[in-house]
């Protein structure tokens, strides 16, 4: 059973520890959407929480919530339960509650602009970096987050590639489908890669970890972009 979150912000953000990082995974609540492409942001939060022994058993700011330390670095984990298009109603209040600058906030989300299983850790990418329907879909997905962060688009993002819809398939239908066996295998590998880069980020910072990680993922992108899923 989930508990309503009641803990001292003053304790978790005290001068005795470094300022927390907030990791927000996007998805849709409920068993109906579990395992779908649109919910890989939730899966990334769960994978990281499990790897670090952080319990996701509280409710805070409309999100399933967990907190813990990785070494001496405090980490806040959230899965908004507002449905994807209202995720900012959770992410914005969480960042405000802990008085976090946007360079301590990372949003995990699916991305049709990347091959299935390819990741990108990016900051300061605005609405998505290019035009087209896939960038437009990404912006629409993040619109609520941007709005609830007072219009600021400069938060970091861990983009999780899910591939493009086949043929003329509606992207909205595509993201609500579950992964096939091959795609599921690629996503499971990607989630573990995501856990490792997030651990690196907590020790080395965003800029250095993104530089190393994105170089590795660039070669993975080249290898996977022409392979079926």
Whether 38 sits among the annotated catalytic residues: the reply is yes
Rounded CA-CA distance 67/73 in Å is 11
CA 128 from centre of chain: 15
Residues whose CB is less than 8 angstroms from the CB of residue 129 and which lie 6 or more positions away in sequence, other chains included: 135
Catalytic residue among 38, 60, 109, 137: 38
The CA-based angle 223-121-33, given to 5 degrees, is 85
Would residue 158 be called left, alpha or beta, if left means φ above 0 and alpha means ψ between -120 and 50 degrees?
beta
Q: Would you say how long the chain is, in residues?
A: 229
Phi, psi of 69 (to 5 degrees): -125, 140
CA 152 from centre of chain: 17
Residue 154 tokens read as: 């400069």
Catalytic residue numbers read 38
């Amino acid at each position: 059973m989930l508990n309503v979150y009641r803990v001292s912000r003053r304790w978790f953000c005290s001068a005795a520890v470094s300022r927390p990082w907030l990791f927000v995974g996007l998805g849709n609540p409920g068993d109906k959407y579990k395992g779908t492409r649109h919910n890989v942001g939730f899966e990334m939060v769960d994978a990281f929480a499990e790897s670090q022994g952080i319990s996701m058993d509280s409710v805070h700011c409309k999100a399933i919530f967990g907190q813990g330390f990785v070494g001496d670095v405090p980490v806040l984990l959230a899965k908004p339960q507002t449905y994807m298009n209202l995720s900012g109603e959770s992410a914005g209040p969480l960042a405000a509650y802990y008085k976090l600058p946007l360079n301590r906030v990372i949003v995990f989300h699916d991305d049709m602009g990347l091959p299935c299983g390819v990741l990108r850790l990016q900051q300061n990418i605005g609405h998505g970096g290019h035009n087209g329907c896939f960038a437009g879909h990404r912006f629409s997905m993040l619109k609520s987050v941007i709005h609830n962060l007072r219009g600021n688009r400069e938060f970091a993002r861990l983009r999780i590639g899910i591939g493009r819809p086949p043929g003329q398939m509606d992207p909205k239908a595509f993201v609500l489908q579950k992964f096939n066996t091959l795609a599921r295998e690629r996503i499971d590998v990607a989630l573990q890669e995501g856990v490792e880069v997030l651990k690196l980020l907590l020790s080395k910072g965003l800029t250095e970890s993104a530089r190393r990680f994105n170089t590795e993922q660039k070669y993975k992108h080249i290898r996977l972009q022409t392979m079926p899923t």
